[in-house]
């Protein structure tokens, strides 16, 4: 399984496979018809509290990942997680779409790592 991540502001490509938005808030300035998304799984985004605490500070990255994984394992995310796992199972490649400027320290990168490592 090839799980890629891509900013919502980058053009979609055929090679992306199904594109899944994993942010709680729609990316500013991106028209829904231009996003070319398979689905939007808001339930896989970090809580507002966790997102604000993290504030995309790379020094908080490891702690953010631990807290985020705990959130994903709660029942609140179960339905969206099940849908994501179904999409992953049915495709050779998927792309997790996010809006953050930091392409290394964001929830899509953490989610990709959790899926690749079998944490979820």
Q: Tokens 């993290």 identify what position?
A: 54
Q: Give percent of the chain above pLDDT 70.
A: 100
The answer to whether residues 94 and 17 touch, using CB atoms and an 8 Å cutoff, is yes
**Dihedral, CA of residue 66, residue 96, residue 115 and residue 69, to nearest 10:** 20
Model pLDDT, residue 1: 84
What's the pLDDT tens digit per position in 26-70? 999 999 988 999 999 999 999 999 999 999 999 999 999 999 999
Domain locations along the chain? 2-117
Cα 37–Cα 57–Cα 74 angle in degrees, nearest 5: 60
Query: Hey, CA dihedral for 54, 57, 63, 69, is it positive or negative?
Result: positive
Distance CA 101, CA 107 (A): 12
Confidence band for 7, pLDDT divided at 50, 70 and 90: very high
pTM greater than the 0.75 cutoff: yes
Nearest alpha-carbon partner for 51 in 33, 30, 36, 67: 67
The overall longest dimension of the chain from CA atoms, in Å, is 36
């Amino acid at each position: 399984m090839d799980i890629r991540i891509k900013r919502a502001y980058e053009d979609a490509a055929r090679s992306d496979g199904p594109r899944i938005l994993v942010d709680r808030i729609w990316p500013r300035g991106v028209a829904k018809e231009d996003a070319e998304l398979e689905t939007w799984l808001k339930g896989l985004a970090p809580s507002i509290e966790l997102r604000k605490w993290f504030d995309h500070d790379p020094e908080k990255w490891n702690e953010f990942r631990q807290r985020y994984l705990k959130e994903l394992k709660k029942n609140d995310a179960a339905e969206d997680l099940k849908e994501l796992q179904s999409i992953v199972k049915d495709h050779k490649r998927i792309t997790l779409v996010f809006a953050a400027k930091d392409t290394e320290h964001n929830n899509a990168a953490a989610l990709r790592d959790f899926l690749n490592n079998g944490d979820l």
